[in-house]
Amino acid sequence: MGKKRRLLDEYRFPGFGPRAEIKGIFGDLKARVIRLKRIQKTVCGCCGKIHWSHYDKKVRRVQDLSCGDARIYLEVEVRRVLCRKCGNVKREKLEWLADNPFYTKRIAYSVGRKCRTMTVKDVAKEFNLDWDTVKTLDKEYMKKQLLRYPVAAPRVIGIDEISIRKGHTYRIVVS
């Protein structure tokens, strides 16, 4: 048989690996924090140039998909780079983070899938998120879906009128 799967193998992201330490957030019994250690060098978020050093760093807590009833947060060291190529101080681009940098792409995708069948209010309640956050994550999901499956331009448009009741009350149907 192959290697044994370890508990933290699901939390391997490009450039990062999990530390053995898992801790909870004080006061919230259903939340767990997993610290990720850096494996790769820092990459400029603007031009993609690899750097040996960084301008400054900040530890950010990013929400990931829940595991059972426990909410999972990842502690990630996010660096800023003074790039010699483009001359800007930019935050590094981590491809597994959503456009909203406090959430992973996995939770953004999951929220978007749920919003296809449920209301935004219900999804916000299920994921324990703010309504506006669910709305922005849903918009990001819809943009990705439109890039993947572009809407075809219509070739023919049909228009008809249906009489709703006696008199001059009509409904216009466009197909």
Q: Point out the least confidently predicted range of 98-102, 103-107, 117-121, 130-134.
A: 98-102
CA neighbor of 103 nearest in space, from 144, 80, 136: 136
Report the 10 Å Cβ neighbour count for 18: 19
Say if residue 30's pLDDT is above 80: no
Predicted TM-score of the model (pTM): 0.67
Confidence (pLDDT) at 16: 67
Confidence (pLDDT) at 19: 61
Say if residue 135's pLDDT is above 90: yes
Q: What is the mean pLDDT of residues 89-103?
A: 82
Highest mean pLDDT among 41-45, 56-60, 114-118: 114-118
Q: What is the spatial distance between Cα 25 and Cα 71, in angstroms, rounded to a whole number?
A: 10
pLDDT tens sequence across 8-24: 556 666 666 666 455 66
Confidence (pLDDT) at 21: 55
Q: What is the mean pLDDT of residues 90-114?
A: 86
Per-residue tokens: 147: 């890039």
DSSP readout, 120-170?
HHHHHHHHT--HHHHHHHHHHHHHHHHHHSPPPPPS---EEEEEEETTTEE
Provide the 3-class DSSP secondary structure of residue 29: strand
The amino acid at residue 136 is: T
CA-only gyration radius of the chain, Å: 23
**Contact of 33 with 61, CB cutoff 8 Å:** yes
